[in-house]
Structure 1
Amino acid sequence: MEIYASGHRRWPDEAKARAAADTLEPGATVNGVAARYGVLANQLSAWRRLAKQGKLVLPAAELDEPVFAPLVVCDVPEAPPDIASSEEVIRIVSGEVRIELAPGTPAARIAEIVHALGATPC
Protein backbone atom coordinates (compact mmCIF):
# COMPACT_ATOMS: atom_id res chain seq x y z
CA MET A 1 0.00 0.00 0.00
CA GLU A 2 1.31 3.46 -0.90
CA ILE A 3 0.53 6.44 1.32
CA TYR A 4 0.68 9.89 -0.26
CA ALA A 5 1.51 13.17 1.50
CA SER A 6 -2.20 14.05 1.41
CA GLY A 7 -2.92 10.94 3.49
CA HIS A 8 -4.58 9.07 0.60
CA ARG A 9 -3.67 5.40 0.28
CA ARG A 10 -3.28 3.41 -2.91
CA TRP A 11 -3.92 -0.29 -2.55
CA PRO A 12 -2.32 -2.76 -4.99
CA ASP A 13 -4.82 -4.84 -6.99
CA GLU A 14 -3.63 -7.99 -5.19
CA ALA A 15 -4.56 -6.51 -1.79
CA LYS A 16 -7.93 -5.31 -3.11
CA ALA A 17 -8.62 -8.76 -4.58
CA ARG A 18 -7.65 -10.55 -1.34
CA ALA A 19 -9.90 -8.25 0.72
CA ALA A 20 -12.82 -8.71 -1.69
CA ALA A 21 -12.28 -12.49 -1.67
CA ASP A 22 -12.25 -12.52 2.14
CA THR A 23 -15.81 -11.15 2.12
CA LEU A 24 -16.91 -14.33 0.31
CA GLU A 25 -15.77 -16.62 3.14
CA PRO A 26 -18.57 -18.26 5.15
CA GLY A 27 -19.69 -15.99 7.99
CA ALA A 28 -17.68 -12.98 6.75
CA THR A 29 -19.24 -9.53 6.58
CA VAL A 30 -18.14 -6.53 4.55
CA ASN A 31 -17.93 -4.45 7.74
CA GLY A 32 -15.82 -7.06 9.53
CA VAL A 33 -13.40 -7.53 6.63
CA ALA A 34 -13.16 -3.76 6.08
CA ALA A 35 -12.22 -3.24 9.74
CA ARG A 36 -9.57 -5.96 9.49
CA TYR A 37 -7.99 -4.28 6.45
CA GLY A 38 -8.42 -0.75 7.82
CA VAL A 39 -10.64 0.50 5.00
CA LEU A 40 -14.18 1.86 4.90
CA ALA A 41 -16.92 -0.65 4.12
CA ASN A 42 -18.03 1.36 1.08
CA GLN A 43 -14.48 1.20 -0.33
CA LEU A 44 -14.46 -2.58 0.08
CA SER A 45 -17.89 -2.75 -1.56
CA ALA A 46 -16.47 -0.81 -4.51
CA TRP A 47 -13.69 -3.40 -4.84
CA ARG A 48 -16.31 -6.16 -4.78
CA ARG A 49 -18.17 -4.37 -7.61
CA LEU A 50 -14.93 -4.23 -9.63
CA ALA A 51 -14.56 -7.98 -9.16
CA LYS A 52 -18.15 -8.62 -10.26
CA GLN A 53 -17.52 -6.51 -13.37
CA GLY A 54 -14.40 -8.53 -14.17
CA LYS A 55 -12.08 -5.57 -13.56
CA LEU A 56 -10.47 -7.16 -10.50
CA VAL A 57 -9.58 -10.87 -10.55
CA LEU A 58 -9.97 -12.57 -7.20
CA PRO A 59 -7.47 -15.20 -6.12
CA ALA A 60 -8.59 -18.81 -6.30
CA ALA A 61 -9.98 -20.19 -3.07
CA GLU A 62 -7.48 -22.23 -1.10
CA LEU A 63 -9.16 -25.61 -0.71
CA ASP A 64 -7.94 -28.95 0.57
CA GLU A 65 -9.70 -30.83 -2.19
CA PRO A 66 -10.42 -30.15 -5.86
CA VAL A 67 -13.55 -28.20 -6.74
CA PHE A 68 -15.29 -28.64 -10.04
CA ALA A 69 -17.30 -26.01 -11.86
CA PRO A 70 -20.20 -26.97 -14.11
CA LEU A 71 -19.40 -26.99 -17.80
CA VAL A 72 -22.08 -26.35 -20.39
CA VAL A 73 -21.35 -27.34 -23.96
CA CYS A 74 -23.44 -25.68 -26.62
CA ASP A 75 -23.27 -24.42 -30.17
CA VAL A 76 -21.45 -21.10 -30.33
CA PRO A 77 -22.76 -18.52 -32.81
CA GLU A 78 -20.48 -17.59 -35.67
CA ALA A 79 -17.57 -15.55 -34.28
CA PRO A 80 -16.81 -12.10 -35.72
CA PRO A 81 -13.88 -12.15 -38.18
CA ASP A 82 -11.43 -10.41 -35.80
CA ILE A 83 -11.63 -13.25 -33.24
CA ALA A 84 -9.50 -16.37 -33.67
CA SER A 85 -11.26 -19.55 -34.73
CA SER A 86 -12.62 -22.04 -32.17
CA GLU A 87 -9.71 -24.41 -32.73
CA GLU A 88 -7.19 -21.76 -31.63
CA VAL A 89 -8.71 -20.57 -28.33
CA ILE A 90 -10.36 -21.70 -25.11
CA ARG A 91 -13.59 -19.77 -24.59
CA ILE A 92 -15.28 -19.16 -21.25
CA VAL A 93 -18.74 -17.60 -21.54
CA SER A 94 -20.72 -16.49 -18.48
CA GLY A 95 -23.76 -14.37 -19.24
CA GLU A 96 -22.50 -11.42 -21.29
CA VAL A 97 -18.86 -12.04 -20.30
CA ARG A 98 -16.76 -13.83 -22.91
CA ILE A 99 -13.13 -14.70 -22.18
CA GLU A 100 -10.79 -16.24 -24.73
CA LEU A 101 -7.57 -17.94 -23.64
CA ALA A 102 -4.62 -19.45 -25.46
CA PRO A 103 -4.82 -23.25 -25.96
CA GLY A 104 -1.85 -23.76 -23.60
CA THR A 105 -3.49 -21.99 -20.65
CA PRO A 106 -2.93 -24.09 -17.51
CA ALA A 107 -6.01 -25.77 -16.03
CA ALA A 108 -5.35 -24.07 -12.68
CA ARG A 109 -5.60 -20.63 -14.33
CA ILE A 110 -8.82 -21.60 -16.11
CA ALA A 111 -10.25 -22.74 -12.75
CA GLU A 112 -9.25 -19.40 -11.16
CA ILE A 113 -11.06 -17.49 -13.89
CA VAL A 114 -14.19 -19.65 -13.64
CA HIS A 115 -14.13 -19.17 -9.85
CA ALA A 116 -13.77 -15.39 -10.29
CA LEU A 117 -16.81 -15.39 -12.58
CA GLY A 118 -18.83 -16.79 -9.71
CA ALA A 119 -19.46 -20.33 -10.92
CA THR A 120 -20.64 -22.55 -8.09
CA PRO A 121 -19.12 -25.97 -7.44
CA CYS A 122 -21.14 -29.07 -8.36
Structure 2
Amino acid sequence: MDTNFQPVTSTNSRGHYRQHPLEFKRALVALSLQPGVSVARIARDHGVNANQVFSWRRLYQQGRLGAAALMRDDGLLPVVLASTAPVPGGTAANTDGIVVLEVGQVRVRIEGQPNAATLAQVLDRVLR
Protein backbone atom coordinates (compact mmCIF):
# COMPACT_ATOMS: atom_id res chain seq x y z
CA MET A 1 0.00 0.00 0.00
CA ASP A 2 1.43 3.34 -1.00
CA THR A 3 1.53 5.66 2.01
CA ASN A 4 2.79 8.81 0.34
CA PHE A 5 -0.32 10.95 0.79
CA GLN A 6 -0.31 14.70 0.41
CA PRO A 7 -2.96 16.77 2.20
CA VAL A 8 -4.77 19.46 0.28
CA THR A 9 -4.25 22.88 1.87
CA SER A 10 -6.84 25.58 1.89
CA THR A 11 -6.94 29.11 3.23
CA ASN A 12 -10.01 30.80 4.56
CA SER A 13 -10.88 33.76 6.75
CA ARG A 14 -10.23 31.79 9.97
CA GLY A 15 -6.69 30.86 9.09
CA HIS A 16 -4.86 27.96 7.53
CA TYR A 17 -6.83 24.75 7.91
CA ARG A 18 -5.84 21.65 6.06
CA GLN A 19 -8.70 19.98 4.26
CA HIS A 20 -7.84 16.31 3.86
CA PRO A 21 -9.54 14.25 1.14
CA LEU A 22 -11.80 11.43 2.29
CA GLU A 23 -9.44 8.86 0.71
CA PHE A 24 -6.56 10.24 2.81
CA LYS A 25 -8.61 9.88 6.00
CA ARG A 26 -9.71 6.35 5.12
CA ALA A 27 -6.14 5.32 4.30
CA LEU A 28 -4.78 6.62 7.61
CA VAL A 29 -7.59 4.92 9.51
CA ALA A 30 -6.86 1.64 7.71
CA LEU A 31 -3.17 1.96 8.59
CA SER A 32 -3.97 2.78 12.22
CA LEU A 33 -6.25 -0.25 12.61
CA GLN A 34 -3.53 -2.74 11.69
CA PRO A 35 -2.30 -4.77 14.67
CA GLY A 36 0.83 -3.54 16.42
CA VAL A 37 1.06 -0.12 14.78
CA SER A 38 1.49 3.19 16.56
CA VAL A 39 -1.17 5.77 15.78
CA ALA A 40 1.22 8.52 16.87
CA ARG A 41 3.87 7.31 14.44
CA ILE A 42 1.40 7.04 11.55
CA ALA A 43 0.14 10.55 12.30
CA ARG A 44 3.66 11.97 12.53
CA ASP A 45 4.75 10.24 9.30
CA HIS A 46 1.81 11.80 7.44
CA GLY A 47 1.93 15.27 9.00
CA VAL A 48 -1.25 15.17 11.08
CA ASN A 49 -1.98 15.20 14.80
CA ALA A 50 -2.58 11.83 16.47
CA ASN A 51 -5.79 13.18 18.00
CA GLN A 52 -7.05 13.86 14.47
CA VAL A 53 -6.41 10.25 13.48
CA PHE A 54 -8.30 9.04 16.57
CA SER A 55 -11.17 11.36 15.61
CA TRP A 56 -11.23 9.88 12.10
CA ARG A 57 -11.23 6.39 13.62
CA ARG A 58 -14.33 7.32 15.66
CA LEU A 59 -16.03 8.62 12.51
CA TYR A 60 -15.08 5.40 10.72
CA GLN A 61 -16.58 3.27 13.49
CA GLN A 62 -19.78 5.33 13.33
CA GLY A 63 -19.94 4.81 9.57
CA ARG A 64 -19.44 8.52 8.85
CA LEU A 65 -16.44 8.23 6.50
CA GLY A 66 -18.57 6.94 3.64
CA ALA A 67 -19.78 3.52 2.55
CA ALA A 68 -16.38 2.49 1.27
CA ALA A 69 -14.99 2.90 4.78
CA LEU A 70 -17.40 0.27 6.07
CA MET A 71 -16.31 -2.31 3.55
CA ARG A 72 -13.16 -4.32 3.51
CA ASP A 73 -10.77 -4.23 0.55
CA ASP A 74 -12.55 -7.20 -1.04
CA GLY A 75 -15.93 -5.39 -0.90
CA LEU A 76 -17.42 -7.70 1.73
CA LEU A 77 -19.02 -6.70 5.00
CA PRO A 78 -17.78 -8.32 8.22
CA VAL A 79 -20.18 -11.01 9.46
CA VAL A 80 -20.70 -12.33 12.99
CA LEU A 81 -22.62 -15.56 13.49
CA ALA A 82 -24.62 -15.88 16.69
CA SER A 83 -26.77 -18.70 17.97
CA THR A 84 -30.46 -18.05 18.51
CA ALA A 85 -32.37 -18.88 21.67
CA PRO A 86 -35.14 -21.49 21.46
CA VAL A 87 -38.68 -20.15 21.16
CA PRO A 88 -40.84 -20.54 24.31
CA GLY A 89 -43.59 -23.13 23.94
CA GLY A 90 -41.47 -25.62 22.02
CA THR A 91 -42.60 -24.56 18.55
CA ALA A 92 -39.99 -23.86 15.94
CA ALA A 93 -39.59 -20.28 14.86
CA ASN A 94 -39.11 -19.26 11.28
CA THR A 95 -36.63 -21.86 10.05
CA ASP A 96 -35.59 -19.75 7.05
CA GLY A 97 -33.25 -17.68 9.22
CA ILE A 98 -32.76 -14.19 10.51
CA VAL A 99 -30.28 -11.58 9.27
CA VAL A 100 -29.41 -8.68 11.56
CA LEU A 101 -27.29 -5.89 10.08
CA GLU A 102 -25.88 -3.19 12.37
CA VAL A 103 -24.07 -0.21 10.84
CA GLY A 104 -23.47 2.75 13.14
CA GLN A 105 -26.83 3.73 14.64
CA VAL A 106 -28.83 1.68 12.10
CA ARG A 107 -30.05 -1.83 12.85
CA VAL A 108 -31.93 -3.87 10.24
CA ARG A 109 -33.51 -7.26 11.01
CA ILE A 110 -34.63 -9.44 8.11
CA GLU A 111 -36.52 -12.67 8.73
CA GLY A 112 -37.25 -15.41 6.22
CA GLN A 113 -35.89 -15.50 2.69
CA PRO A 114 -35.73 -11.96 1.32
CA ASN A 115 -35.96 -11.20 -2.36
CA ALA A 116 -32.45 -10.47 -3.70
CA ALA A 117 -33.51 -7.16 -5.27
CA THR A 118 -35.18 -6.00 -2.05
CA LEU A 119 -32.13 -6.98 0.00
CA ALA A 120 -29.86 -5.09 -2.41
CA GLN A 121 -32.00 -1.96 -2.02
CA VAL A 122 -31.92 -2.20 1.79
CA LEU A 123 -28.15 -2.64 1.84
CA ASP A 124 -27.68 0.25 -0.58
CA ARG A 125 -29.68 2.59 1.69
CA VAL A 126 -28.02 1.45 4.92
CA LEU A 127 -24.47 1.70 3.54
CA ARG A 128 -24.83 5.26 2.22
How would you bin the TM-score normalised by the shorter chain? 0.5 to 0.7
| Contiguous gaps of at least 5 residues in structure 1 | 75-89, 114-122
Query: What TM-score comes out, normalization by structure 1 length?
Result: 0.54
Counterparts in 2 of 1:1-122, with a 5 A limit?
Answer: 1-5=7-11, 6-57=15-66, 58=69, 60-62=71-73, 69-72=79-82, 92-93=101-102, 96-98=105-107, 103-104=119-120
Task: Report if aligned partners of 2:9, 2:19 keep a CA contact under 8 Å in 1.
Answer: yes
Q: Distance in 1 between matches of 2:83 and 2:72?
A: 25
Identity rate, percent: 29
Query: Pairwise CA RMSD of aligned residues?
Result: 3.8
**Letter aligned with residue 48 of structure 1:** R
Q: Distance in 1 between matches of 2:70 and 2:105?
A: 22
| Contiguous gaps of at least 5 residues in structure 2 | 1-6, 85-98, 110-116
Is the radius of gyration larger for structure 1 or structure 2?
A: 2
Instruction: Measure how far apart 1:7 and its partner are.
Output: 2.8
Q: Distance in 1 between matches of 2:64 and 2:78?
A: 24
Query: What TM-score comes out, normalization by structure 2 length?
Result: 0.52
Which protein, 1 or 2, shows the higher relative CO under an 8 Å CA cutoff with sep ≥ 6? 1
